[in-house]
């Protein structure tokens, strides 16, 4: 195996070195090999100036390998042959150094430095050639930054002055600051936003200008901010900025985006008035008037506020029954008062849909198939309530079982239904609270029937939850107010029961094959710094995400059982309808970040920590709530559910390879290869542990003085096909440190790797974190 790796590596080296990178570089020209930016000022980072460089070298895989340039150079001179065309299409043509682009880049860098306040900055570009390659360095000398000595305001429209004074604490400008044009422009936008939220509908940042006077012989600037009067056209006289209030607000519920956006030209057949709001429609009003008005944030008679308009867009965008929302304003004047009459034009979505799904399954080599059909209605009660019902069936041929079982097939039948309301449905909540937190309320029911040769299991559940988002989709909250799960085992094969369940060594297995209630509540919080950029696939910079989950089960039931002094069963458990219930606390934390190196390379970091503690009425956390390690989203040198807990080597029973504590950490270097393909190299570390000493999980107990010795480490490579709407991922991991093995070389397979023993392949959809 080792020789095989050596031969493969040698072959790759020969392929890459068999042709020169300058094969298609014309005589007298140079291949742009490297570009560097160096500055003499720690406050000015080269990474902030790289966007102004017009010409960059050929992209490199993992910032090291010029693979695509090599592929291009493999092509022959005859561009008419198909294989040469293919190689050139996959590869990248050499970037030929351009003196003109370099000169313009240096000018752009200099302008950017001047905008930062370094008026005397200079940029020198230094090309260094070697054979037909050229390394380019931009040497930046910033000089001393200009600072604002005095700050004055010239408010030509006295009507606006009170609004600026009330908001002066938020200003970005102050004496002593660096004279940064970017900060000045941000202050223009901030003032504009403030005035737009106080009725000045026609205001924009072009009415704000600056005058900067430098003091001779110093690096000081006297800055004056000018706020100009209003003039719509150049031939008009200057006057005070008009301030508008909201007049009438009307709804048009059958708006066709293809037709004219002028409400006066739209065809409507009927209308009603609800609480003073006209509502126009063609044939039948598909939304209740109360729903329309409750999602409106603009208030007639109040000053126009841009943030109310955006909040109205957000509110109606949450309604699944709507496809598009458009808001138009028309000016009118009543006496000396200026009004904005608004029209909220709504385009309906399809109310009902039916979908079918087919999938193949593979459980430890046992092949099967599954199918599901679902029906969705997005407007059940004319309030954009979404009703879903889904039926699912699966079949799998089970191998490796003893012949005493009556059949060797696995059958699963399931049904689920849910209904969600786009509002916070809870008694005693004020209208202001419901408007401030636009939550979705969801009720759900699920039923799952599993028929295996060894047993028959039924899982039924009912849930009541809320979810809502804040801060431009950056943060998401979810409250599971009540989630009731019932596990029922109507049949267990006698041979299976005698062999596995009536064995004191298989306590975990026995515990999870008994009838049980799980009555839980929980809260989860997700924050993603990318916000809408992540949803729109426009992420270009660094980003991070935080996930926090907490849940508890059985506490209220246990308190009632204790206070009422209810009887316990033979295992000293309180019961509900003669069925024991689980009691535990569980919390976990997840952090992931993506650090951009350049447009094609990034480093992704991930950390996860979780703990689940059974107590009171339970000696163990139910299997569905325990942690596992290994697999496509964990330590990838191990297959799913095959690592841990601790130094436990496994006994073939996946239930025993679960734990109460989990730690995971990963570092992944990601690179763009070609077309839709992405590559990665990664290092994973982590494991799971138990908080109690179970006979069936020897070596799995968490101890502060030994747990760090039981952390598994893996390394590997990955190939991803990024199709924008989903990602297909293929990862191959190798064990580096194996906690199962004792001291010696077997513990460190990275030193003596064996492919058949240490390799694990993973196929998954989506990135690991």
Run of H or E residues at 155: strand 147-155
Instruction: Name, in order, each residue with C-beta under 8 angstroms of 406's C-beta and a sequence gap of 6 or more.
Output: 453
d(CA 653, CA 651): 6
User: Do residues 683 and 713 lie in contact, with contact meaning Cβ atoms separated by under 8 Å?
Assistant: yes
**Which of 215-219, 317-321, 694-698, 764-768 has the highest mean predicted lDDT (pLDDT)?**
317-321
- Taking the C-alpha atoms of residue 667 and residue 530, their distance in angstroms, rounded to an integer, is 20
Q: For residues 483 and 463, what is the distance between their CA atoms, to the nearest angstrom?
A: 4
Tell me: the pLDDT tens digits for 590-601? 999 999 988 889
79, with CB counted inside 10 A (0-12, 13-18, 19+), is exposed
Q: What is the CA radius of gyration of the chain?
A: 33
Q: Measured between alpha carbons, how far is 559 from 561 in angstroms, rounded to an integer?
A: 5
Inter-CA distances, 697 with 47, 488, 635, 656, Å: 51, 25, 20, 6
- Residue 262: which pLDDT band, with cuts at 50, 70 and 90? low
How high does pLDDT run on average in the chain? 89
177: phi > 0 → left, psi -120 to 50 → alpha, else beta; which?
beta
Quick one: pLDDT at residue 260?
60
Q: How far is CA 654 from CA 485, 496, 506, 518, in A?
A: 22, 16, 12, 21
Torsion sign over Cα 492, 493, 499, 502: positive
* Bridge partners, 393 (sequence order): 371, 413
Task: Tell me what pLDDT residue 452 has.
Answer: 85
pLDDT at position 316 is 95
Task: Quote the percentage of the chain above a pLDDT of 90.
Answer: 65
Query: Picking from 134-143, 183-192, 422-431, which range would have the lowest pLDDT averaged per residue?
Result: 422-431
Residue 249 to residue 316: CA distance in whole angstroms: 15
- Whether residue 284 is predicted with pLDDT greater than 70 in this model: the reply is yes
Strands (E), 378-435: 386-397, 409-421
DSSP structure string for 455-469: EEEEEEEEEEEEEEE
- Number of CB atoms found within 10 A of residue 13's CB: 10
pLDDT tens figures, 708-744: 999 999 999 999 999 888 899 999 999 999 998 767 7
| Cβ neighbours, 10 Å, residue 320 | 19
Q: Hey, which residues does 614 pair with through a beta bridge? A: 584
- How many Cβ atoms sit within 10 Å of the Cβ of residue 735? 26
CA–CA gap between residue 220 and residue 200 (Å, rounded): 35
CA dihedral 27, 29, 31, 32 (to 10 degrees): 180
d(CA 374, CA 392): 9
How many Cβ atoms sit within 10 Å of the Cβ of residue 587?
Answer: 16
Q: Are 545 and 592 in contact (CB under 8 A)?
A: yes
**How distant, in Å, are the alpha carbons of 313, 317, 384, 419 from that of 350?**
19, 15, 11, 17
HSE at residue 664, side-chain half, CA atoms within 13 A, is 27
Mean pLDDT of 752-756: 90
CB-based contacts of 536: which residues, under 8 Å, 6+ apart? none
Max mean pLDDT among 61-70, 206-215, 365-374, 488-497 falls in: 206-215
Mark 110-132 as b/e (b = at least 16 C-beta within 10 Å): bebbebbbbbebebebeeeeeeb
The stretch 57-70 carries a mean pLDDT of 87
d(CA 187, CA 500): 71
pLDDT for residue 466 is more than 90: yes
Confidence band of 223 (pLDDT split at 50, 70, 90): very high
Which two three-digit tokens encode residue 741?
């093995």
pLDDT band at 752 (very low <50, low <70, confident <90, very high): confident
Distance of CA 511 to the CA centre of its chain: 36
Q: Is the dihedral of CA 465, 468, 473, 475 positive or negative?
A: negative
Residue where the block lists tokens 């809260």: 523
Q: Predicted confidence band at 418 (pLDDT cuts at 50, 70, 90)?
A: very high
| Rounded distance between C-alpha atoms, residue 78 and residue 57, angstroms | 25
Give the span between the Cα atoms of 660 and 655, in whole angstroms. Answer: 12
Contact 322, 346 (CB under 8 A): yes
Nearest partner of 456 among 488, 486, 485, 484, judged by Cα: 488
Q: Of 28-37, 75-84, 126-135, 462-471, which gets the smallest average pLDDT?
A: 75-84
Q: State yes or no: pLDDT of 259 exceeds 80.
A: no
Under a CB-based contact definition with an 8 Å cutoff, are residues 662 and 609 in contact? yes
Tokens representing residue 105 in the block: 């880049």
Integer Cα distance of 551 and 480 in angstroms: 9
Using CA atoms, how far apart are residues 160 and 188, in angstroms rounded to an integer?
Answer: 14
Q: Are 238 and 255 in contact (CB under 8 A)?
A: no
Q: Tell me which H or E stretch contains 584.
A: strand 584-596
Beta strands in 493-583 (DSSP E): 516-528, 543-553, 575-576, 579-580
In this predicted structure, the answer to whether residue 493 has a pLDDT above a threshold of 70 is yes
Q: How many Å apart are CA 607 and CA 668, to the nearest integer?
A: 12
Helix (H, G, I), strand (E, B) or coil at 763: strand
CA distance 453 to 492: 9
How far apart CA 284 and CA 379 sit, in angstroms, is: 14
Query: Average pLDDT of 7-16?
Result: 44
Cβ atoms of residues 631 and 639 within 8 Å: yes
Return the DSSP state at 527: E
Predicted local distance difference test score (pLDDT) of residue 403: 56
Sign of the C-alpha dihedral computed for residues 755, 759, 764 and 768 taken in this order = negative
pLDDT score at 196: 96
Q: How far apart are the first and last CA of the chain?
A: 32
Q: What per-residue confidence (pLDDT) applies to 13? A: 46
Secondary structure class of 453 (helix, strand, coil): coil
Q: Assess whether pLDDT exceeds 60 at residue 365.
A: no
Which of 156-170, 257-271, 590-604, 674-688 bottoms out in mean pLDDT, i.e. has the lowest? 257-271
649-693 pLDDT tens trace: 887 777 788 999 999 999 999 999 888 899 999 999 999 999 998
Q: Is the pLDDT of residue 518 over 50?
A: yes
Note the pTM of the prediction, 2 decimals: 0.86
Length of the chain: 769
Q: What is the mean pLDDT of residues 400-417?
A: 76
Token digits of residue 213 = 């006077």
Sorting pLDDT into bands at 50, 70 and 90, what band is 8?
Answer: very low
The first and second tokens of residue 35, run together, are 């570009």
What are the pLDDT digits (tens) for 569-581? 888 899 988 899 9
Rounded-to-integer distance, Cα 457 and Cα 623, Å: 14
The 10 Å Cβ neighbour count of residue 201 is: 21
In whole angstroms, what is the distance from residue 313 CA to residue 370 CA? 40
């Amino acid at each position: 195996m080792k020789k095989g790796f050596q031969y493969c590596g040698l072959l790759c080296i020969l392929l890459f070195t068999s042709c020169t990178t300058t094969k298609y570089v014309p005589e007298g020209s140079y291949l742009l090999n490297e570009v560097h930016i160096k500055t003499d000022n720690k406050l000015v980072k080269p990474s902030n100036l790289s966007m102004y460089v017009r010409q960059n070298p050929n992209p490199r895989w993992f910032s090291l390998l010029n693979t695509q340039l090599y592929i291009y150079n493999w092509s022959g001179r005859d561009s008419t042959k198909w294989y040469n065309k293919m190689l050139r299409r996959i590869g990248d043509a050499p970037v030929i150094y351009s003196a003109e682009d370099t000169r313009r880049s240096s000018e752009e860098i200099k302008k950017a430095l001047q905008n930062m306040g370094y008026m005397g900055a200079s940029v020198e570009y230094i090309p260094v050639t070697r054979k037909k390659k050229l390394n380019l360095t931009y040497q930046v000398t910033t000089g001393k930054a200009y600072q604002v000595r005095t700050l004055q305001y010239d408010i030509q429209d006295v009507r606006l002055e009170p609004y600026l004074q009330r908001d002066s604490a938020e200003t970005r400008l102050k004496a002593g600051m660096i004279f940064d044009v970017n900060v000045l422009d941000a202050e223009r936008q901030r003032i504009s936003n403030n005035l737009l939220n106080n009725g000045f509908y026609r205001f924009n940042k072009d009415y704000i200008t600056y005058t900067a006077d430098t003091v001779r012989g110093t690096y000081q600037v006297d800055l004056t901010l000018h706020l100009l009067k209003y003039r719509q056209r150049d031939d008009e006289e200057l006057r005070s900025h008009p301030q508008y209030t909201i007049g009438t607000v009307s709804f048009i519920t059958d708006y066709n985006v293809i037709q004219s956006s002028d409400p006066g030209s739209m065809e409507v057949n009927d209308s009603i008035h609800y609480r003073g709001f006209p509502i126009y429609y063609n044939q039948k009003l598909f939304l209740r008037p109360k729903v329309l008005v409750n999602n409106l944030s603009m208030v007639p008679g109040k000053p126009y506020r841009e943030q109310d308009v955006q909040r109205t867009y957000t509110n109606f965008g949450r309604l699944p029954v709507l496809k598009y929302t458009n808001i138009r304003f028309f000016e009118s004047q009543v006496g000396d008062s200026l009004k904005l009459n608004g029209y909220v034009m709504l385009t309906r979505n399809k109310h009902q849909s039916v979908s079918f799904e087919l999938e193949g399954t593979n459980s430890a080599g046992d092949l099967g198939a599954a199918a599901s059909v679902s029906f969705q209605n997005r407007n059940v009660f004319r309030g954009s309530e979404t009703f879903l019902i889904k039926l699912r069936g699966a079949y799998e041929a089970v191998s490796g079982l003893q012949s005493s079982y009556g059949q060797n097939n696995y059958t699963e039948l399931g049904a689920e239904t849910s209904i969600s309301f786009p509002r916070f449905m809870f008694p005693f909540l004020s209208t202001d609270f419901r408007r401030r937190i636009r939550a979705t309320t969801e009720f759900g029911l699920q039923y799952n029937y599993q028929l295996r040769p060894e047993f028959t299991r039924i899982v039924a559940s009912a849930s009541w939850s809320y979810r809502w988002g804040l801060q431009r989709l950056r943060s998401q909250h979810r409250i599971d107010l009540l989630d009731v799960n019932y596990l029922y085992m109507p049949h267990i094969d006698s041979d299976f029961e005698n062999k596995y369940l009536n064995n004191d060594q298989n306590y975990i297995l026995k515990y999870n094959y008994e009838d049980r209630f799980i009555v839980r509540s929980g809260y989860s919080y997700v924050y993603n710094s990318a916000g809408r950029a992540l949803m729109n696939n426009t992420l270009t910079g660094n980003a991070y995400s935080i996930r926090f989950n907490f849940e508890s089960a059985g506490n209220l039931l246990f308190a009632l059982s204790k206070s009422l002094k209810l009887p316990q069963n033979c295992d000293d458990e309180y019961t509900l309808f003669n069925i024991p219930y689980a009691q535990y606390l569980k919390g976990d934390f997840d952090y992931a970040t993506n650090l951009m190196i350049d447009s094609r390379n990034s480093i992704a970091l991930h950390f996860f920590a979780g703990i689940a503690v059974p107590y009171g009425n339970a000696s163990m956390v139910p299997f569905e709530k325990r942690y596992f390690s290994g697999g496509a989203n964990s330590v990838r040198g191990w297959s799913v559910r095959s690592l841990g807990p601790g130094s436990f080597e496994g006994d073939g029973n996946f239930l025993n390879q679960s734990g109460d504590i989990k730690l995971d950490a990963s570092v992944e270097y990601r690179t763009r290869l070609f077309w839709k393909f992405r590559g990665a190299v990664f290092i994973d570390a982590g494991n799971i542990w138990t908080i109690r000493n179970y006979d069936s999980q020897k070596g799995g107990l968490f101890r502060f003085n030994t747990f760090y010795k039981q952390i598994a480490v893996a390394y590997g490579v990955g190939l991803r096909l990024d199709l924008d709407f989903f990602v297909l991922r293929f990862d191959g991991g190798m064990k580096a440190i194996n906690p199962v093995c004792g001291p010696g070389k077997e513990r460190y397979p990275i030193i003596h790797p064996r492919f058949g023993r240490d390799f694990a392949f993973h196929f998954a959809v989506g990135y690991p974190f």
